Structure 1
Amino acid sequence: MGLLGCGSKGGFQQAAQHNRQQPEKAAEINMQLGIEYMRRQQYDIALNRLEKALEIDPNYADGHNAMAVLYEQLGQTAQAQQHFQQALQLNPSGSDIHNNYGQFLCKRGQWEQAQQHFSRALENPLYRTPEIPLTNAALCAVRAKNYSRADSYLTQVLQKNPESLIALYQMSLIRYEQGQYTDAQNYFRRYLRLGSQSAETLWLGVRLARALNDPEQASQYAAQLRSQYPDSSETRLLNQLERQ
């Protein structure tokens, strides 16, 4: 979600005390505190702060948005959905809200509804980070195996940020799935110039090298994968592949 910068715990507590007579500011500060505790996975304290924010201002759309994200992380789907819907009722054009709700829906297989909310997030010409909903829309399309739609979104992401590691990796993966191995390798090389290897990228590297009849490179990636990520699901897939 769009997160506001947070300071130290003590600084926030002092600020909250100074702003008791400013309900809107106090609600915002409590929300920021809640987000920071959420980042630290201190969910009980995060819930307390966000409840306080909404107690101060029940019509605080960003507070409901943050609460929805927290409930989603806690696995409380019904409460998350309720707060997302309240946030959208209070701020129907809120780009961060639409982006977060789109992610929520995508994780539950509601592909088309999710894409509608990503599109709504992009309607605001003043939105400062359009590459975020574009990237999320692309990832959702990949989940749905709608590669042409994902390709369109990822192309837009790379136009805005040619060094987006997520977009470069996903474009390489999509091209591989489509059998366009040379294009896939080009995106993969661009990724490698900028980012570090992970189990996911090494596994893609193995498959790409095999598809391009480069057994030496495939062997190198396989050795790295086994050495660096011996317990990963990608290593298990590699072992299955080599037993075939």
Structure 2
Amino acid sequence: MKQIYKLCILSLLINACTSINPEGNCSPKDKKNAELNVQLGIEYMRRGRNNIALQRLKKSLNFCPSFAKGHNAIAVLYERVAETKKAEFHYQQALKYEPENPDINSNYGQFLCRLNKWKEAEKHFLKAVSDPVYNLPEVPYTNAGICALHNQEIDKAEQYLRKALQNNVKFPRALYQMAVLKYKQNHYPQANDYLLRYLRVAKHTPQTLWLGIRIEKALNNRDKEASYILLLRKNFPDSAEIQMLNQKNYH
């Protein structure tokens, strides 16, 4: 699931190209250079070359210190490498310059959720979806659902995940999380339905295979359970899910 999260965050960074507020007193040339370096930084992040990405993102902010997109991108990078204080600073700087930006609010909400600040995170998720022209409301709704689920607010988690799917019926992360939620509720046929819907639009991950194993075990479908186990062993032999399988840790 971490990999899915990373890809989603990077897509948000790319989508957040339009500035809501002007970048302070930065000249058009400086803003152009700042944008170029952010795009390069994001591409290096995609490739896992975080050191070079950091250099580019710092260079972007040198060109335009009030460039919200640059602060957002570098905050995501610092979060990725567990530099929590630096990530917090740059998220706040990004919101200082573009407080209404839905992508920044969604990213910051997920950051706060990881710090176990659910109520504060929820405010930013709701801020993100309050923008009537935002074209990706399923992302903050899904993030809110995941955060609520982690905080044992099951009803609220389902509410947010359903809103995500109302906005995008094929959104993979929301489908997967609904499958997780239904499994936690012991609603195994529904969990299986959501997992199958996920597989119509996305590929298996170690997490989806592990969930499938547990669902089929609960449904007493031994052949399907064995099929999922085979796929997990074949495609993800070094995953944490293999360790849980070997330890028979089905919780």
Q: For this structure pair, what is the TM-score category when the shorter chain's length is used for normalisation?
A: 0.7 to 0.9
Number of positions where the alignment pairs a residue of Structure 1 with one of Structure 2:
229
The answer to whether the 8 Å contact 2:188/2:218 transfers is yes
Shift of 1:30: 2.3
1:181 has 2:188 as partner: yes
1:3 has 2:13 as partner: yes
Q: Residues 124-163 of structure 1, C-alpha deviation per residue, up to 9 Å, x if partnerless?
A: 1121211121222222223223222221121112222222
Query: Distance in 2 between the 1:21 and 1:175 partners?
Result: 51
1:240 paired residue number: 247
The answer to whether the 8 Å contact 2:182/2:191 transfers is yes
Q: Residues 205-224 of structure 1, C-alpha deviation per residue, up to 9 Å, x if partnerless?
A: 22222222323322332333
- Alignment partner for residue 198 of structure 2, among 187, 191, 197? 191
Question: What amino acid sits opposite 2:85 in the alignment?
Answer: A
Shift of 1:21: 6.6
Secondary structure of 2:247's aligned partner: helix
- Alignment partner for residue 90 of structure 2, among 77, 83, 86? 83
Shift of 1:101: 0.9
1:221 has 2:221 as partner: no
Question: What amino acid sits opposite 1:126 in the alignment?
Answer: V
For 1:43-122, what aligned pairs fall within 5 Å after superposition? Answer: 43-122=50-129
TM-score, normalized by length of structure 1? 0.83
Question: What amino acid sits opposite 2:39 in the alignment?
Answer: Q
Bigger RCO (CA 8 Å, 6+ sep)? 2
Query: Distance in 1 between the 2:92 and 2:105 partners?
Result: 10
The answer to whether the 8 Å contact 2:13/2:72 transfers is no
User: Structure 1 vs Structure 2: percent identity of aligned residues?
Assistant: 45
Question: What amino acid sits opposite 1:184 in the alignment?
Answer: A
Gaps of 5+ in 1: 6-19
Query: Distance in 2 between the 1:136 and 1:35 partners?
Result: 21
The answer to whether the 8 Å contact 2:33/2:63 transfers is yes
Query: Distance in 2 between the 1:195 and 1:47 partners?
Result: 30
Query: Distance in 2 between the 1:132 and 1:76 partners?
Result: 24
Shift of 1:189: 2.5
1:33 has 2:43 as partner: no
Question: What amino acid sits opposite 2:13 in the alignment?
Answer: L
TM-score, normalized by length of structure 2? 0.81
Question: What amino acid sits opposite 1:105 in the alignment?
Answer: L
Gaps of 5+ in 2: 1-8, 16-26
1:205 paired residue number: 212
